[in-house]
Chain A
Amino acid sequence: MPNLVCEQEEIVSDEAIRAFEHPKRRVQLRVKTYILIMLMVLLNPISNILLKKGMDQVGPMVSWAPSTVATFFVHAFSTGAIWLAICCLLGFFVSYLLVLSWADYTFVQPSAALSNGLTAVLAYVILHEYISPIRWVGILLICGGVFVVGRTHPQTTEQL
C-alpha cells in the first residue's frame, strides 16, 4: 500500500512538471505576468511623485521627540496628495500580490525596478528635480538589469 501511494504521488508530480513546461502554458504565464508587472511599473512611480509632493507640503521632521513624530505623521496623513498616492499604492499592491501567487519573487522584484527609470523621468518632468548624467547612467543600468532578469522564466518553484 505505501508503494502505491508513493507511485501515485510520483505520477501527479510528473503531470505537474509536464504542465509547467507546456509551451502554451509558458506563453500564458508570461503574458499575464508582464501585464501585472506593467501595472506595477506605472502605479509605483505615480505614487512616488504624489508622496514627494505631499511630503514637500508637510516639511522635514525636525526631531525624534514622540510628539514631533506624531504631529509629523498626522500632518502627512491629512494631506490630499498622500491619500491619492496611497490609492495608487493599493492598486500596485493588488497587482503585486496576484503576480506573486505564481511568479518568483526574484523575478518580480527586479522587473519592477523599471519603475526607477519612470520615477526619474517623472521627477525630472513634473518636480523639475536635477538628475546628473552619472545618475542617468545608473538608472539605465538598473533598466538593463531588469531586462536581463526579464529574459529568465518567471517561475522556478511550485506552490510552497
Chain B
Amino acid sequence: MIITGAIFYLFILLSGTGGEMCVSRAMKSIGEVTDFRPRSIARVFVRAMKVPWMWIGVAMMALGFFSLLGLLSIANVSFVYPASALSYVVGALGGKFFLGENVTKQRWAGVLLVALGVVLVVVGRG
C-alpha cells in the first residue's frame, strides 16, 4: 500500500506540476485576457486549444488527477492535499527555468515557507 501511495504521489508531483507549467506557457502565448464577457472567454479557449502546449499540459494534468484519485482512495484528504504542496518547489524551479519568470528572493522565501509547511504536514500525520 505504501509503494502504491508513493507511485501515485510521484505522479501528482511531476506530472501534475509539469502539466500546469505547459498550460501556463500556452496561456502566456495567447496574452493577457482583458474582456471577461462569456463570448470573449469562449474565444480565448478556442485560441488556447490551438496551442500544442495546452494539449500536452492537459494530458499531464489528467494523469496527475487520476493519481490524485488513486491516492485519495488510500489516504486522508487532510494529508494528501497539503503533502502534494511540495509541487510548489518544483513549480518555482520550473517557473524560473522553463517559463523564464523572475523569481525574487521574497518569492523564494514564500515558496520555502510553503515547503516547510508541507514537511510539517507530512511529519504530523496523525
Whether A135 contacts B101 by the Cβ 8 Å rule is no
Residues in B with CB closer than 8 Å to A120 are 78, 81-82
Residues in A with CB closer than 8 Å to B106 are 148-149, 151-152
Whether A59 contacts B73 by the Cβ 8 Å rule is yes
Residues in B with CB closer than 8 Å to A96 are 23
Whether A148 contacts B110 by the Cβ 8 Å rule is yes
Q: A109-B91, A116-B81, A133-B124 are in contact. Are A101 and B30 (CB under 8 A)?
A: yes
Question: How distant is A18 from chain B, measured CB to nearest CB, in Å?
Answer: 16
B97-118 at interface with A (beta carbon < 8 Å): 99-104, 106-107, 109-118
B42-97 at interface with A (beta carbon < 8 Å): 44-45, 48, 65-66, 68-70, 72-74, 76-78, 81-82, 85, 87-88, 91-92, 94-96
Whether A139 contacts B117 by the Cβ 8 Å rule is yes
Partner of B99, one of A102, A137, A160: A160
Q: How large is the interface on A (under 10, 10 to 19, 20 to 34, 35 or more residues)?
A: 35 or more
- For A143, the closest partner residue in chain B by CB is B117
Partner of A134, one of B20, B33, B91, B123: B123
Q: A104-B101, A119-B78 are in contact. Are A138 and B121 (CB under 8 A)?
A: yes
Cβ-based interface call for B10 (8 A)? no
With an 8 Å Cβ cutoff, the count of chain B residues facing the other chain is: 66
Whether B78 contacts A123 by the Cβ 8 Å rule is yes
Whether A159 contacts B76 by the Cβ 8 Å rule is no
Whether B101 contacts A157 by the Cβ 8 Å rule is yes
Cβ-based interface call for B12 (8 A)? no
Bound form: Cα–Cα A157–B99 in Å? 9
Partner of A113, one of B1, B73, B77, B114: B114
Whether B118 contacts A142 by the Cβ 8 Å rule is yes
Residues in B with CB closer than 8 Å to A132 are 124-126
Question: How distant is B73 from chain A, measured CB to nearest CB, in Å?
Answer: 5
> Which residues of B does A touch, CB under 8 Å?
1, 4, 20-21, 23-25, 27-33, 36, 41, 44-45, 48, 65-66, 68-70, 72-74, 76-78, 81-82, 85, 87-88, 91-92, 94-96, 99-104, 106-107, 109-126
In addition to A104-B95, A104-B99, 18 A-B residue pairs with Cβ atoms within 8 Å of each other are: A45-B81, A48-B81, A51-B77, A55-B73, A59-B73, A105-B91, A115-B81, A116-B82, A119-B77, A139-B121, A145-B88, A145-B115, A146-B114, A152-B104, A152-B106, A157-B99, A159-B28, A160-B25
